Amino acid sequence: MMWPGLIMSLYAKPLRQDTFSHLEYAPRMKDSDILKTMLARKLSVPPRLWAYAMLVGDARGRSNDGRRSKIGFSKKLGRHTDLIGAFSEVFIYHAFLTMGGSEELLSALRQNIFDPRGGTATSDVDLVVDGNRLDIKSFDCAPNKKFFAINKRKHRALAGKCDHYLCMLVLPFGKHAVLTNLVKWSSVSEWEERDFINSGNPALILPIDEFRKEYLPYSKCRMDKVHNKEEVRSMCDDAQLRYRLRSHFTGLEGWV
């Protein structure tokens, strides 16, 4: 089942001079070829994907509230984290679905996008692409954000289970996103450790300028355009949109 209104909306602006063709009638591709097609490219984002992300993020937030308060997370920070994280996973799912990804890969993404027990309930990676075990991470690329950060506890839980991180840079409600080149799990283990909110739950961090230099093949990428937030929020009230979301991610039944 495809997502009506979304299949025609995923484009990419490559960082090279070639073009990335329209995906509506894309032939079935190997999962690894789909991944290569997306890496290190500026990708266009339809507003409906943000509506899906808001709904998934809200469900995650409600399921996580009690646990987060124990480690010093404010509700505002939690909502922001849930929105950006949910968007990156919804986007990846949509991209593989659109380009004919394998049912095995899509099934894993469907299972992992929401767990009412919280994000630490499972230590599985988000997807496996031709044997390459990948976990999705995201970064709010607002100008005041200085570090790409990965939770240390979650990183350690993936020891021996994750080969690379699949990292996305995006503004909240942004019209564009960038998937970087893959980041080795072992490389993240060498990043600086820092506890930003003195919660006892530190992150492994890399200054964003260093991160871009290491994992993006270009120096600058403007992503300052955003969708109208109120218009996106209004989409969340659409009963058909909610139904389509639940039809793909059945774990959201009762939450969306």
**Among the residues of 23-177, which ranges form H helices?**
31-38, 47-69, 75-98, 103-112, 152-157
1 within a domain of the structure (yes/no): no
61 within a domain of the structure (yes/no): yes
pLDDT digits (tens, 9 = 90+) for 79-108: 888 999 999 999 999 999 999 999 999 999
- Tally of domains in the chain: 1
pLDDT digits (tens, 9 = 90+) for 20-42: 233 344 557 899 999 999 998 88
Which band of pLDDT confidence, cut at 50, 70 and 90, is reported for residue 121?
low
pLDDT mean over 39-53: 94
- In this structure, the strands spanning 147-151 and 203-207 are antiparallel
Entry pTM? 0.83
2 within a domain of the structure (yes/no): no
CA 179/CA 171 separation, integer angstroms? 13
End-to-end Cα, the chain, rounded Å: 19
- In this structure, the strands spanning 12-14 and 41-44 are antiparallel
Which band of pLDDT confidence, cut at 50, 70 and 90, is reported for residue 6?
very low
3 within a domain of the structure (yes/no): no
Place of tokens 């998937």: 179
Domain range for 72: 12-252
Q: Which of 174, 104, 103, 108 has its CA nearest to residue 138?
A: 174
Q: Rounded to the nearest 5 degrees, what angle is found at the Cα of 203, between the Cα atoms of 197 and 207?
A: 100
229 within a domain of the structure (yes/no): yes
233 within a domain of the structure (yes/no): yes
pLDDT mean over 204-215: 94
pLDDT at site 49: 96
148 within a domain of the structure (yes/no): yes
pLDDT at site 64: 72
182 within a domain of the structure (yes/no): yes
